[in-house]
């Protein structure tokens, strides 16, 4: 029998929970770290002039060769092009299956616009290993790359697979482990997080038993261990809830790390460099890391969009059974076309969201409920549809009317990509309050699919 203690701010003991009483489920549960960005932000402090020598001594452990010819950050940071970085979280040497990539998250950064989009892929997504006929869960791709010692190891092989799934070039990776996360938060003296919803998880894994995790609403001071549990818990909440908590931890750690008190404390910076050297690996160069850190520091939280590719909200994946009865996820479309289209619109939405354009959808297709359905679809991408209705007449051709004279370019671009439609710029109609009107015709049903992938 394992005695379990509640992980609250006052550490009050709770009744024991018996492992055999755990609810049964056909789905295999995993409790792995999902916040690699915290250690990624730690790289920002490697640019401190006070510790150049100390940083140099850790360089060999932190930086590795960029495999695949994607090292283009230096040029992209000068313009508006995106930089795509794969964040990989692993258990590390002290954990069983320590090379499994239990966090797979792409961060797409627009330096000029100071925006970022974070896209998480579930570890149970069933894929074909690059340059092989072998099929495995995507978290095993990293392990295979490490075991087979392919050029660039597990990170390079995983970069290749994620690129295929999302339809994006993956330029860099940052890999971190559990222990590094705990130590970074503790080196900061903990973080302050405003917990919005209570988190009660009676089955948080603890050795051979379980721990009751009970975190109450309100402002909480969390050390590294509690912050990790807050970010990892998934037994009683959804992937979207967990993503929200990850964002809370990330913002809290970022704010603490960038505080004047922390940045001017030589001891803290020294500890941080030691932690990063032991627990993080990247194919960014030292110079690229310095420049990227400057950009990341300038991105406000409200300009970071977080999305999970799943079956609950996006409908892009569905549950299935793999070899040996293992729980797996497969793409609903049978390939990666819908995921790629979703990602394309998501990247566009990060820019469109900030424009706050007022959009009207008129249904000229004859398909009942299409305008209302499009209103909900576009809402997920940050487009504010303020008015929907039926067109007096049916139309074969979808047309987008821009009443802003080009002042909402990102929204127009997103709509054009979605509908494959002509854009007509004209004066705003009398008494109209909308910025853009979309007349959806019957041709909307015939939009070609995105580039197909395999799984």
Burial classification of residue 357, based on how many CB atoms lie within 10 Å of its CB (0-12 exposed, 13-18 middle, 19 or more buried): buried
Q: Which residues of the chain have pLDDT under 70?
A: 1-59, 68-80, 93-96, 207, 238-244, 246-247, 250, 258-266, 269, 350, 445-455
pLDDT at 255: 74
pLDDT at 360: 96
The span from the CA of 246 to the CA of 259, in Å, is 20
For residues 127 and 298, is the Cβ–Cβ distance under 8 A?
no
Strand, helix or coil at 8? coil
Distance of alpha carbon 221 from its chain centroid, rounded?
A: 25
Residue labelled with tokens 């039926």: 390
The span from the CA of 108 to the CA of 127, in Å, is 22
- The first and second tokens of residue 39, run together, are 């250690």
Strand pairing report for 209-215 and 126-128: unpaired
Query: What are 287-337's pLDDT values in tens digits?
Result: 787 777 778 778 877 777 878 888 777 889 999 999 999 989 999 999 999
* DSSP secondary structure, 17-38, as one string: --GGGSPP-SSPP------THH
For residues 389 and 371, is the Cβ–Cβ distance under 8 A?
yes
Residue labelled with tokens 């579930």: 122
- The first and second tokens of residue 95, run together, are 């954990």
DSSP code of residue 283: S
What domains, with CATH codes, occur in the chain? 19-332 (3.40.630.190), 347-446 (3.30.70.2390)
- Indicate if the alpha-carbon torsion angle 258, 263, 267, 273 is positive or negative: positive
pLDDT at 354: 76
Start-end of H helices in 148-215: 153-166, 178-187
* Secondary structure (H, E, C), 90-115: ECCCCCCCCCCEEEEEEEEEECCCCE
pLDDT at 276: 73
For residues 73 and 292, is the Cβ–Cβ distance under 8 A?
yes
Q: What is the number of other CB atoms lying within 10 angstroms of the CB of residue 372? A: 14
* Residues constituting the chain: 455
Q: Which residues contact 437 (CB under 8 A, 6 or more apart)?
A: 359, 360, 362, 400, 401, 403
The span from the CA of 12 to the CA of 270, in Å, is 35
Task: Encode burial over 95-127: b for 16+ CB neighbours within 10 A, e otherwise.
Answer: beeebbbbbbbbbbbbbeeebbbbbbbbbbbbb
The span from the CA of 418 to the CA of 444, in Å, is 9
pTM score > 0.75 for this model?
no
Residue labelled with tokens 């392919």: 150
Q: Which residues contact 377 (CB under 8 A, 6 or more apart)?
A: none
Residue labelled with tokens 């909402």: 408
For residues 339 and 168, is the Cβ–Cβ distance under 8 A?
no
CA-to-CA separations, 443 to 10, 383, 440, in angstroms, rounded = 61, 22, 8
Q: Between helices 52-62 and 266-279, what is the axis angle to 10°?
A: 20
- The first and second tokens of residue 216, run together, are 């109450």
């Amino acid at each position: 029998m394992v005695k379990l203690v509640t992980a609250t701010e006052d550490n009050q003991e709770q009744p024991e929970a018996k492992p055999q009483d755990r609810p049964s489920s056909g789905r295999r549960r995993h409790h792995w770290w999902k916040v690699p960005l915290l250690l990624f932000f730690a790289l920002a402090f490697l640019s401190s002039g006070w510790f150049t020598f100390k940083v140099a001594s850790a360089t060999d452990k932190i930086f590795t060769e960029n495999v695949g010819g994607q090292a283009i950050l230096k040029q992209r940071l000068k313009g508006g092009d995106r930089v795509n970085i794969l964040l990989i979280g692993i258990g590390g040497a002290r954990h069983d299956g320590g090379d499994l990539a239990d966090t797979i998250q792409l961060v797409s950064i627009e330096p000029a616009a100071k925006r970022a989009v974070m896209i998480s892929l579930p570890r149970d997504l069933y894929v074909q290993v690059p340059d092989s006929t072998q099929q495995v869960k995507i978290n095993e791709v990293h392990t295979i790359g490490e075991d087979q010692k392919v050029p660039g190891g597990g990170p390079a092989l995983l970069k290749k697979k994620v690129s295929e799934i999302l339809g994006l070039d993956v330029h860099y990776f940052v890999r971190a482990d559990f222990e590094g996360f705990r130590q970074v938060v503790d080196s900061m003296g903990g973080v302050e997080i405003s917990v919005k919803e209570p988190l009660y998880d009676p089955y948080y894994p603890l050795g051979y038993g379980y721990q009751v995790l009970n975190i109450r609403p309100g402002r909480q001071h969390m050390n590294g261990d509690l912050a990790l549990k807050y970010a990892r818990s998934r037994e009683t909440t959804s992937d979207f809830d967990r993503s929200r908590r990850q964002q809370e931890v990330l913002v809290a750690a970022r704010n603490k790390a960038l505080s004047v008190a922390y940045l001017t404390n030589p001891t803290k910076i020294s500890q941080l460099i030691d932690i990063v050297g032991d627990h993080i690996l990247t194919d960014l160069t030292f110079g690229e890391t310095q420049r990227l850190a400057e950009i990341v520091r300038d991105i406000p939280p409200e300009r970071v969009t977080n999305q999970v590719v799943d079956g609950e909200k996006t409908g892009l994946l569905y549950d299935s059974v793999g070899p040996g009865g293992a729980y797996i996820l497969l793409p609903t479309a049978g390939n990666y076309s819908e995921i790629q289209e979703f990602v394309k619109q998501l990247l566009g939405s990060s820019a469109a969201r900030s424009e706050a354009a007022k959009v009207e959808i008129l249904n000229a297709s004859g398909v009942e409920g299409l305008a209302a359905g499009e209103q909900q679809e576009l809402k997920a991408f940050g487009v504010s549809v303020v008015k929907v209705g039926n067109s007096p007449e049916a139309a074969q051709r979808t047309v987008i009317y821009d009443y802003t004279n080009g002042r909402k370019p990102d929204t127009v671009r997103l709509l054009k990509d979605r509908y494959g439609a002509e854009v007509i710029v004209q004066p705003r109609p009398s008494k109209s309050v909308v910025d853009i009107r979309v007349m959806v015709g019957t041709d909307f049903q015939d939009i070609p699919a995105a580039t197909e992938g395999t799984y």
